Structure 1
Amino acid sequence: MTAQKVLVTGATGFVGEALVFRLLLGKRFVPVAATRSVTRCQGLCPVTNFNLSGPLLLPELHGASVVVHTAARVHVMKEAASDALAEYRKANVAGTLELARHAAKSGVKRFIFLSTIKVNGEATVKGRPFKADDVPSPIDPYAISKFEAEEGLKKLAAETDMEVVIIRPPLIYGPGVKANFLSILQWLARGVPLPFGSIYNQRSLVSIENLLDLIITCIDHPAAANQTFLVSDGADLSTTQLLRYLAGALGVKARLVAIPEWLILLAGTMLRKQSVASRICSSLQVDIAKNREILNWTPVMNVGTSMRRTAEFFMINHVKAL
């Protein structure tokens, strides 16, 4: 069987780079890393120049049957742009759709778009998870841009022979994770007391291993064509449970102080960190039953194993710097 050529955008990012390395295993796929900067994939697989915005640079797609688009303008903690939505739209909508049109004209058969659960909304009522086919309710500029890209891709799929698959992950973690999740690991490793000892929300997460497995399933599964999927580890955790899981994986005691949720939310408002406080305390659950029904897909790695691998990587690569 001839190996499929799969172009992966964002090949220097957390998901894109991990996907390229996973595709290199076995003989089913020939990954092509599309990136605007030097990548660790250099010398291991073909590399093509790609820039999502400023100015847009489209990749070479000759022979590629699938594009997995992980590149995006992601959350900017200290937004400098006067019109944040316009900036997100340049990359995540205009750039994505230009890439997709280029892919369709180049004969690409399937375009897999890594979106975000934030397209569904910011929070759920406990016990009432988001479903893949719920009416979208994006709120912030990032989520709105991802939703608009999804709509544009669906329209393109209806007008061309190229199939589109949309995947909306919640918080992604795993070996090499950065941003807020890395900060949490650092706080726990240092023994910093955290005021999150009595938070009883429920949040879905997805390990990089489970996300990659779903993406690879969607590369060539016939039933994935023109579908939208949510993804998670299949086990929801409260913020308090998550911190205890990670502390146990690190081999340290979680120093959690039981502060009432209302007080955390009040402090968030006073410090102008309402969105951060809300994410800490609110629930965000996803229903992945559709994946099992349509793709016969279930998570390949449980939460405990995923947390342990994340912690082990952190201990090897970051503890000396603490």
Structure 2
Amino acid sequence: MKTKLLITGSTGFVGRQLVAHLREDPASDIRMLVRRLPEKAPAPDDFVVVADFAEIDALHPALKDIQVVVHLASRVHIMNDSDPDPLEAFRRVNVGHTLQLARSAAAAGVKRFVFVSSVKVNGEGTAPGQAYRESDTPAPADPYGISKMEAEKGLKTIASQTGLQVVIIRPVLVYGPGVKANFENMMKWLCKGVPLPFGSLNNKRSLVALDNLVSFIKVCAEHPAAADQTFLISDGQDVSTTELLQRLGSALHSPARLLPVPARLLALGAGLFGKNSLSQRLCGSLQVDIHKARSLLGWQPVVTVDEGLKKTADYFLNERVK
């Protein structure tokens, strides 16, 4: 018997890969909730278009016969957000839309709601050698993280009131084929041979390859023990920024040219130019402990860091020559 899943955010970076993965599984039957039908949609009948999440109630066709909702759609973290009230903008989408969908799903008889949240619920960084755990007290530091925390709390309330099984996943930085933003910029710098002042960093960062995150989402949609649990997720191999650039340069066939500038000087320079948050991401540590995912669900990463970086680099190089 097939499991009927509704996927939101199916046209995004993670959603596209998740849909492709689920389509290869004969036990999965997927439907995608979108704001507009993608051009040249491979299977238009698999999509339900909704202009506003407020339209979704228990009788909405998107929820008909659905057993599991995987909610990826969100207002993503934005550098230099220009919205006059960023917190309200994040709340409107990440809290309001999420809880509206969850309430309607519960009323429609959906069994499980998988919510992809963020490590930013835990905070912005850890001391080297220490790692966030699911049991830690949340400490979000920006509007995006606050909105994800509030959505998590609202979902737990709905679960307690309705019996809807809620699974919360907090990924770290996701990389993979088609990644954008700072990760793509790093690949551009490396390919151009730009000398980078990151040769002496001893920080530790947890990352998660797209293949690993998609694999874990699928496990959370199916595994009985995942019900009403929260999970932190990563590749299980933490690297310094220096190591990441070296490995990524190798994958790109463009060895990293790294200058040994001390971390304290980088932080000082970043502060002078108002780039403290960027400095934290490049020079600071952020580690997560994935013991719970491994022990409770029996999940293991399906690719290593180097395998994930190679896939990312190969896609980037192929796109450059088109």
TM-score range, shorter chain: over 0.9
CA distance in structure 1 between the partners assigned to 2:52 and 2:79 by the alignment = 20
TM-score between the two structures when normalised by the length of structure 2: 0.95
Q: Superposed, which structure 2 residues align to 1:127-206 within 5 Å?
A: 127-206=129-208
CA distance in structure 1 between the partners assigned to 2:52 and 2:267 by the alignment = 36
1:111 corresponds in structure 2 to 113
Is 1:231 equivalent to 2:233 in the alignment? yes
1:32 corresponds in structure 2 to 31
The number of residues matched between the two structures is 317
2:10 corresponds in structure 1 to 11
CA distance in structure 2 between the partners assigned to 1:94 and 1:136 by the alignment = 20
**Partner SS state of residue 6, structure 1:** strand
2:247 corresponds in structure 1 to 245
| Conservation of the 8 A alpha-carbon contact between 1:12 and 1:37 | no
**Shift, 1:52, TM fit:** 6.2
Is 1:100 equivalent to 2:102 in the alignment? yes
Aligned partner letter, 2:6: L
| Conservation of the 8 A alpha-carbon contact between 1:198 and 1:259 | yes
2:75 corresponds in structure 1 to 73
CA distance in structure 2 between the partners assigned to 1:102 and 1:186 by the alignment = 44
Q: Superposed, which structure 2 residues align to 1:292-311 within 5 Å?
A: 292-311=294-313
CA distance in structure 2 between the partners assigned to 1:38 and 1:257 by the alignment = 47
| Conservation of the 8 A alpha-carbon contact between 2:204 and 2:285 | yes
1:42 corresponds in structure 2 to 41
**Shift, 1:161, TM fit:** 2.1
Deviations 1:203-246 (A, max 9, x none): 00000100011110011100000000010001000000000010
CA distance in structure 2 between the partners assigned to 1:32 and 1:183 by the alignment = 34
| Conservation of the 8 A alpha-carbon contact between 2:4 and 2:65 | yes
Aligned partner letter, 2:38: T
**Shift, 1:39, TM fit:** 2.9
Deviations 1:4-35 (A, max 9, x none): 11111011110111111111002010111211
**Partner SS state of residue 292, structure 1:** helix
1:125 corresponds in structure 2 to 127
Identity of aligned residues (%): 47
**Shift, 1:132, TM fit:** 1.3
Q: Superposed, which structure 2 residues align to 1:272-291 within 5 Å?
A: 272-291=274-293
CA distance in structure 2 between the partners assigned to 1:176 and 1:38 by the alignment = 21
CA distance in structure 2 between the partners assigned to 1:171 and 1:263 by the alignment = 25
Deviations 1:73-124 (A, max 9, x none): 1112232222111111000111110011111111110000000001011101
Aligned partner letter, 2:233: V
CA distance in structure 1 between the partners assigned to 2:96 and 2:280 by the alignment = 31
CA distance in structure 1 between the partners assigned to 2:113 and 2:52 by the alignment = 16
| Conservation of the 8 A alpha-carbon contact between 1:291 and 1:297 | yes
| Counterparts in 2 of 1:11 and 1:50: CA distance versus 1, 3 Å | farther
CA distance in structure 1 between the partners assigned to 2:184 and 2:2 by the alignment = 36
Aligned partner letter, 1:48: V
CA distance in structure 2 between the partners assigned to 1:91 and 1:259 by the alignment = 41
| Counterparts in 2 of 1:9 and 1:225: CA distance versus 1, 3 Å | same
**Shift, 1:51, TM fit:** 4.9
CA distance in structure 1 between the partners assigned to 2:321 and 2:194 by the alignment = 14
CA distance in structure 2 between the partners assigned to 1:19 and 1:283 by the alignment = 28
| Counterparts in 2 of 1:135 and 1:211: CA distance versus 1, 3 Å | same
| Counterparts in 2 of 1:51 and 1:224: CA distance versus 1, 3 Å | farther
CA distance in structure 2 between the partners assigned to 1:134 and 1:29 by the alignment = 34
Moved more, 207-216 or 25-34: 25-34
**Partner SS state of residue 167, structure 2:** strand
CA distance in structure 2 between the partners assigned to 1:52 and 1:278 by the alignment = 36
**Partner SS state of residue 231, structure 2:** strand
- The CA RMSD measured in Å over matched residues stands at 1.5
CA distance in structure 1 between the partners assigned to 2:52 and 2:165 by the alignment = 21
| Counterparts in 2 of 1:50 and 1:183: CA distance versus 1, 3 Å | farther
CA distance in structure 2 between the partners assigned to 1:28 and 1:294 by the alignment = 23
| Counterparts in 2 of 1:70 and 1:41: CA distance versus 1, 3 Å | farther
| Conservation of the 8 A alpha-carbon contact between 1:33 and 1:41 | no
1:207 corresponds in structure 2 to 209
CA distance in structure 2 between the partners assigned to 1:171 and 1:50 by the alignment = 29
| Conservation of the 8 A alpha-carbon contact between 2:36 and 2:51 | no
